[in-house]
Chain A
Amino acid sequence: MLRYVIRRLLWLIPVLLCVSLLIYVLMDLAPGTVIDSMITEQMTPEDIEKLRQEYDLDKPVIYRYVKYMWGFFHGDLGKSQVTGLSVWDSFISRFPATLKLSLVSVVFGAVLAIPIGIFAAQRAGTIWDNLTTGFTLIGTSMPSFWLGLLLLILFAYKIQLFPAGGYQGPSSYVLPAITSGLMMTAITARQTRSSMLEVLRADYLRTARAKGVPERLVIRRHALKNAWIPILTTIGMGLSRFLAGSAVIETVFSWPGIGRLTVEAVSQRDVTLACGCVIMTSILYVIILLIVDLLYAFVDPRIRGKYASGSRKRKVTA
């Protein structure tokens, strides 16, 4: 198990090299540089040239990239080229807002989605199933910025039940959590439904019923436990996507999170900050997916057996 975790974490290195190189090159290809906003009319060409040298813009992109990554592998994410603040500090100061919103959205989504999915699977083919399928279709296909704006118009402008944006107090979570949670609910509900449908046909549920297990326990103890893995994967992917910060939702609700930080960095051509944000969110992404993988072993003993193979493997006896 430990070896597996270490191997997975080592995979982070190529992943980080790739994403950081990608963001560096993309930012370089994009028109404009970070010094564009610093240039004033009074500056002489010499001043501008000095500024370019200060930011290594006179050297090839690969030089800047290697220099940046050299710092990164020594534990230094660098300083924002615009504000001069440490990238690590900016990230950490913005992270709690994103984390809290992500957790609220995921919990909201999962708590709603799993019962909906089970409900639909048990009634597969009926009008109830079709209704939930319709709901999940709307949920997955509705663009979140549009849903966010609709909710804002209705609940912040017309009814004025919730604040229109910002990050103060529990009520400010409601609209962004619904916006991002709804898509989460829809996707997870679909996954729960199909995963449960597969399990509901299983022979071992017949065995459970033949033992006299009440139907609600047949579903909860026998079926759901077997359907967990794809559901967990969906939830884990959702969580890691939210943690990377939803640029759209954070912008619509002026939520001071990672998503907006990244968008700001990119629009100001702040390569160091943008790259730092992308690297940090990639690390989070990989770690969350790793945790989900480890949870598989928790729900499925057959996978646990594979991790444990080697030292304490018990031979199958005939």
Chain B
Amino acid sequence: MGSEINDRTVQDNKELVLEVEDLIVHYVLQEETVEAVNGVSFSLERGKTIGLVGETGAGKTTTALAIMNLVPDPPGVIKNGTITVCGHKMLDLSANQLEKIRGKDVSMIFQDPMTSLNPVLTVGDQIAESVMLHENLSYSKAFKRAQEMLEMVGIPGTRATEYPHQFSGGMKQRVGIAIALACNPKLLLADEPTTALDVTIQAQVLDMIDDLKRELGTALVMITHDLGIVAKTCDLVAVMYAGRIVEYGTLEDVFDRTMHPYTEGLFNSLPDISNRKSQLQPIPGLMPDPTNLPRGCAFAPRCRYATAACREEQPSRREVSETHTVYCSAYDDPNFQIERTRGRGGNG
């Protein structure tokens, strides 16, 4: 990743919309410190989608909030890292400058549509608000734009004067998407946008995000724990565990040429629809306590390939190919393969 970022010509061609480098975010509470994000780096080009995958508590949402510089403070503290959104160093900006970027260059769709809309403002006003702030339009023009945005997400524009409680969950999430896209952001952060929705609505919402992304050329960070959504929407995948990226690569790299034991575990814990009698294979154990992370690889206690060395020191970084990176010390042994790849007859 690193070498590409510094290369001017590459940057001009591909136009990096987001760069996160060595991000560390802790939540400092009175008795303990929650180490939520511990050195995350990735970057995203214009129009591309990266999936941040991992269990609850892996630091996905915190990473997204840090990109907006919206980590709740207190207790959140961004200890280290640089975040560049469309050329703006988000962590160095004043509150005033941030307000100009949030909602315009980067915006976010939140996980729970039931609580993320303001109950006492009409949905039209909530969409129009960011248009008025960022494009200096009059209220009537902004409201008109809000109605267009509603139409775009499949809600009749006449309903702009209604309040969130008059909409169903799926429609509220569409309103959330309309708010996020109102000013054509170059980067959209979607934090489990479909987790709170019915399965039937999930597909609709995902399709819509996908269409809009294509139409507007928006880069997307898709946060999810659902590998199906990743397969459907993402170009790149970053698998997160205990606040670190453990495997990073293109969709094909991670799905077809899986390297990390944790990623393997994620795939194994999916039900196999073609063999319904097969047992689910959950990953044994629980995520480590983020207030007390192990010294070595955080996944070692649950990893069936782990050796004594894994528990002692941080895993080594290995670039498998130009696009594919894995953080696992097991590959220090050149003959090591995880079972998933073994079953397919070798490393691709």
Given contacts A203-B115, A211-B133, A212-B103, contact A299 B120 (CB under 8 A): yes
**Interface membership of B70, Cβ < 8 A:** yes
- Minimum CB–CB distance for A107 against chain B, Å: 24
**Interface membership of A151, Cβ < 8 A:** no
- Minimum CB–CB distance for B44 against chain A, Å: 18
Contacts of B112 in A (CB 8 A): 203
Q: Tell me the B249-285 residues at the A interface (CB within 8 Å).
A: none
Question: Does the CB pair B120–A226 fall under 8 Å?
Answer: yes
Question: Does the CB pair B116–A302 fall under 8 Å?
Answer: no
Contacts of A203 in B (CB 8 A): 110, 112, 115-116
**Interface membership of A4, Cβ < 8 A:** no
Contacts of B179 in A (CB 8 A): 207, 211
B155's closest neighbor in chain A, by CB? A317
Chain A 175-211, CB-CB to B under 8 Å as 1, else 0, gives 0000000000000000000000000001110111111
Which of B93-101, B307-315, B316-324, B330-338 is near enough to bind chain A? B93-101
In the assembled complex, the Cα of A222 lies from the Cα of B121 at a distance in Å of 8
A304's closest neighbor in chain B, by CB? B163
Question: Does the CB pair B166–A208 fall under 8 Å?
Answer: no
- Minimum CB–CB distance for A74 against chain B, Å: 46
In the assembled complex, the Cα of A206 lies from the Cα of B179 at a distance in Å of 13
**Interface membership of B244, Cβ < 8 A:** no
In the assembled complex, the Cα of A232 lies from the Cα of B100 at a distance in Å of 34
Contacts of A225 in B (CB 8 A): 118, 120-121
In the assembled complex, the Cα of A226 lies from the Cα of B100 at a distance in Å of 25
In the assembled complex, the Cα of A222 lies from the Cα of B176 at a distance in Å of 16
Question: Does the CB pair A317–B119 fall under 8 Å?
Answer: no
Contacts of B52 in A (CB 8 A): none
**Most chain B beta-carbon neighbours within 10 Å: one of A210, A215, A317:** A210
Contacts of B102 in A (CB 8 A): 209-212
Given contacts A203-B115, A204-B115, A204-B119, contact A209 B70 (CB under 8 A): yes
Q: Which of A206, A211, A215 is the one whose CB lies under 8 Å from B129?
A: A211
**Most chain A beta-carbon neighbours within 10 Å: one of B117, B166, B168, B179:** B166
**Interface membership of A289, Cβ < 8 A:** no
Given contacts A207-B176, A209-B70, contact A302 B118 (CB under 8 A): no
Chain B 80-122, CB-CB to A under 8 Å as 1, else 0, gives 0000000000000001101111111001101010011111111
Question: Does the CB pair B107–A206 fall under 8 Å?
Answer: no
- Minimum CB–CB distance for B262 against chain A, Å: 29
Contacts of A202 in B (CB 8 A): 115
In the assembled complex, the Cα of A196 lies from the Cα of B134 at a distance in Å of 27
Q: Which of A207, A212, A226, A301 is the one whose CB lies under 8 Å from B163?
A: A301
In the assembled complex, the Cα of A208 lies from the Cα of B119 at a distance in Å of 12
- Minimum CB–CB distance for B9 against chain A, Å: 33
Q: Which of A212, A226, A301, A305 is the one whose CB lies under 8 Å from B104?
A: A212
**Interface membership of B170, Cβ < 8 A:** yes
Question: Does the CB pair B133–A302 fall under 8 Å?
Answer: no
**Interface membership of A58, Cβ < 8 A:** no
Given contacts A215-B95, A300-B119, contact A318 B68 (CB under 8 A): no
Q: Which of B100, B117, B133 is the one whose CB lies under 8 Å from A204?
A: B117
Contacts of A214 in B (CB 8 A): 96, 99, 133
**Interface membership of A213, Cβ < 8 A:** yes
In the assembled complex, the Cα of A212 lies from the Cα of B183 at a distance in Å of 11
B198's closest neighbor in chain A, by CB? A318
Q: Which of A211, A215, A316 is the one whose CB lies under 8 Å from B103?
A: A211
Contacts of B165 in A (CB 8 A): 301-302, 305
In the assembled complex, the Cα of A226 lies from the Cα of B115 at a distance in Å of 13
- Minimum CB–CB distance for A59 against chain B, Å: 58
Contacts of A211 in B (CB 8 A): 102-103, 107, 129-130, 133, 179
- Having A203-B115, A225-B120, A226-B119, one finds 8 other A-B pairs with CB under 8 Å, namely A207-B116, A211-B102, A212-B99, A213-B99, A213-B133, A215-B95, A300-B119, A302-B163
10 A-B contact pairs sorted by A residue (CB < 8 Å): A204-B118, A206-B70, A207-B176, A209-B70, A211-B179, A212-B98, A213-B99, A225-B118, A226-B120, A314-B166
> Would you list the 6 A-B pairs with minimal beta carbon distance, nearest first?
A212-B103, A212-B102, A211-B103, A211-B130, A203-B115, A301-B163
